[in-house]
Amino acid sequence: MMTDAGLPQPSDCQPLDPRVAIDTAVEAQEGRMCVLRGTACVHDATVAIVEVSTDGGESWHEATLTGPNEPAGPVEWEHPWVPEAPGVHTLLARATDSRGRRHDVGRDRLRVSPA
């Protein structure tokens, strides 16, 4: 199932199975800004914060929540990024819910082409 923006939608949120999805259908080129997007969902709370790492978890940056944010429903997020080097980059996303629980569940790879 897809969201209104065409992003993968986390489905069937369960209390012990929160979802954070990263959409890697983005074209990324060294030195040029691209926008990373995804969705996050937790079962019994709203999503308070989504953070994104573009360096395999060494550093984290807060993403912007861009859609409705209802308990047990998906919320869309986005984060601008300028890749500094070509190659395959490991992207991570984590969500913190309105009860303060952190969910480290989104992981994907994105190929960045040279300038």
pTM of the model: 0.82
What pLDDT digit, counting tens, does each position of 62-84 carry? 999 998 998 878 899 999 999 99
The listed range with the strongest mean pLDDT (6-10, 21-25, 28-32) is 28-32
| CATH architecture of the domain covering 19-108 | Sandwich (2.60)
H-run or E-run covering 99: none
Q: Which two tokens stand for residue 65?
A: 């929540």
Q: How confident is the model at residue 13 (pLDDT cuts 50, 70, 90)?
A: low
pLDDT at 114: 96
Residue 24: pLDDT above 80?
no
Model confidence over 98-110: pLDDT tens digits? 999 998 778 899 9
The residue extents of the domains of the chain are 19-108
Which DSSP string corresponds to 41-94? E-SSS-EEEEEEESSTTSS-EEPEE-S---TTS-EEEEEEE--SS-EEEEEEEE
